[in-house]
Amino acid sequence: MMKEIIKKPIISEKATGASEKFNRFTFEVDRKANKLEIKKAVEKMYGVSITDVRTMNYGGGKSSVKYTNKGIVEQPSRQWKKAVVTVADGEAIDLFNNF
């Protein structure tokens, strides 16, 4: 069940900076998961205690317009949800060695 809630960690320049500076880690999660489910999943998966969870929804709007022989085709962007979890002081998640 934990694998369905947490899809993958997001490793970007901004996410890495937040993890080093503020002890916050970013994950792509299931769109239907709420903050409590995300908190329990991360705590169980990585063995850390979570103090705060923030979520953001992305996508759903028009992302690309293609001009084809059959006319104009609009393709919606992919919908996904991001969760930023704050880990308690003194703890950390090793995203590179945890499989």
* CATH assignment at residue 74: 3.30.70.330
> Is 7 within a domain?
yes
Q: Which two tokens stand for residue 58?
A: 């992305």
pLDDT band at 5 (very low <50, low <70, confident <90, very high): very high
Question: What's the whole-number mean pLDDT along residues 91-99?
Answer: 80
**pLDDT on residue 43:** 95
Asked whether residue 98 carries a pLDDT value surpassing 70, the answer given is no
Residue 74, pLDDT score? 84
Alpha-helical (H) ranges within 23-83 are 35-46
Cβ–Cβ < 8 Å for 99, 3: no
Q: What burial class does residue 45 get, using C-beta atoms within 10 Å of its C-beta: 0-12 exposed, 13-18 middle, 19+ buried?
A: middle
pLDDT class of 2 with cuts at 50, 70, 90: low
Domain that holds residue 33: 2-87
Instruction: Give pLDDT tens digits for 37-86.
Output: 999 999 999 999 999 999 999 987 777 788 889 888 888 888 999 999 99
Classify residue 32 as left (phi > 0), alpha (psi -120 to 50) or beta.
alpha
Q: What is the pLDDT of residue 99?
A: 52
Q: Does residue 93 lie in a domain region?
A: no
User: How many domains does the chain contain in total?
Assistant: 1
Residue 97 placed within a domain: no
In one-letter notation, the amino acid at residue 6 is I
